[in-house]
Amino acid sequence: MPILSPRLLSDVLQIAETGGEYLRDFYTRSVQVQLKADNTPVTEADLFMSQFLSEKLTALTPDIPILSEESGHISVAERQQWPIYWLIDPLDGTQQFIERTGQFGILIALVQHNCPVLGLIHMPILQQTCYAIRGQGAYKKDVHGVQRLVPQPLDRAQRIKIAVGDGKMADKVRSILHKNIDYEFQIFGSSSLKSLLVAEGTSHCYVRLGNTGEWDTAAAEVILQEMGGGIFDPNFAPLTYNQRDTLINPHFVMTGCRQADWRQIFCFDNDTFR
């Protein structure tokens, strides 16, 4: 079982960055697209990256299992026998990749005793990476170097910048905002990018009222926790990992400041949002 260490983080960063180089190569050419059973797209880049990350992480830590969307069929009874496991999304934002927006990323998290303890979000086209290890802070790496991420204070006098996926999601989020809140929506593609925008302070929060997998939030969970933010569900409770039959998350809000009074901003009283 690996010790959380700078060496482990460095190795995972290298894996993600090498994977990013492969994705940039796929991005320059036409790729085959198929539809999965749930009618969502999957490309040859997704399949390649899933195999690549699985092979590299297995070589790095042979005794640690790997969980992803592709292996989501594993029963909770089996999964709960794992004291530690990798939780990955090899290509978050497949639709954005197909549409050539550049808003897609690689998500890698290490979960120990149902708690994410290492997380990494790598955006190959934007050349940005956020990463964290529990107890060691959160950082952003880009072309300008490495900087430590810090809490993003929020008070009611500010206009709240809310990251959402599209206009329809903005309409849903508008319905759960308390009256007299000054806000603006920021529309971006993949979950990984919106998570990164919250971590770096470009957005105050990212709201998702729809299905995501635990692999979509685990990396952001540890990054945000380490820089003073967090994630909560419609009951203002933390998300859980590997504790339910389903790996589908409830609705959630990611924030860059967990000390803000989010109950005065969002109202989830409508059962539709629970």
- Residues 110-134 pLDDT 10s: 999 999 999 999 999 999 999 999 9
Task: Note the pLDDT of residue 226.
Answer: 97
**b (16+ CB within 10 A) / e for 1-40:** eeeeeeebbebbbebbbebbeebeebbeeeeeeeeeeeee
Please indicate if the annotation marks 92 as binding a ligand: yes
pLDDT above 70 covers a percentage of the chain that reads 97
User: Is residue 156 pLDDT above 80, yes or no?
Assistant: no
Tokens of 41: 């797209």
* Residue 200: partners with Cβ closer than 8 Å, 6 or more residues away: 130, 140, 149
User: Is residue 1 pLDDT above 50, yes or no?
Assistant: no
Overall average pLDDT of the 260-266 stretch: 93
Please indicate if the annotation marks 216 as binding a ligand: yes
Please indicate if the annotation marks 89 as binding a ligand: yes
Which domains can be identified in the chain, with CATH numbers? 6-148 (3.30.540.10), 160-273 (3.40.190.80)
Task: Note the pLDDT of residue 271.
Answer: 60
Please indicate if the annotation marks 91 as binding a ligand: yes
Task: Note the pLDDT of residue 273.
Answer: 59
Give 51-116 as a DSSP string. Answer: HHHHHHHHHHSTTS-EEEGGGTTS-HHHHTT-SEEEEEEEEE-HHHHHTT-S--EEEEEEEETTEE
Please indicate if the annotation marks 94 as binding a ligand: yes
Q: What is the DSSP letter of 243?
A: -
Tokens of 221: 């969970």
Confidence (pTM): 0.94
Q: pLDDT tier at 272 (50, 70, 90 boundaries)?
A: low
